Structure 1
């Protein structure tokens, strides 16, 4: 009798709490506007009645400075590193593009080297573990 009573209580608790523990679906979140800078309810991620300090505002601005930034897109306002009203020559443009290409290639090379190092370390670790397993070491 006790076992059936406990199993019924456990089943009831499970069914009533399953929605509380369920993972959030793609349309389950509520839009509150706290992180949308264009919303009238925008308050740097805090509740509406919270008075945001200058430090909190600066922290939010620093954390979101590069949001929506596309690094691969050339911004016309950059003007190849010169002032906006400077007329860029073909030579200056070529020098800037070569510099950007060299930086991109160096970054890609560093990423490839890091990936190669990680693979080599994983192989060495696997070989080490296999050797210790073979001889019964732990």
Structure 2
């Protein structure tokens, strides 16, 4: 992977990584935590088992519009809209398409991170 080469703090509208739909990280950007094209996760996320299953909660306030964490799982082109038997509540479709113009999906049922346990319920 090539370095972005930005002389100042990376901006999503000017950084070569951002323009190529790549987030900056330690292995491709020298701007560190000040980089404007780097994913950030909210500290203080905790996983707990509730009445309905696992849930994520935080002990800190989260500002509206903040990126809490990236959704991780297996990236696939399997079309889950046409295969309801294999679709799980951990599957999300992406707006991006593959180089072959196929729909892209992230399936996090078996592989993923803490984000697969996030939900909108206040009663977990």
Report the TM range for the smaller structure's normalisation: under 0.3
TM-score computed with the length of structure 2 as normaliser: 0.20
Q: Comparing both structures, which one devotes a greater share of its residues to strand?
A: 2
Point out the structure with the larger helix share: 1
Q: TM-score, normalised by structure 1?
A: 0.19
Structure label with greater radius of gyration: 1
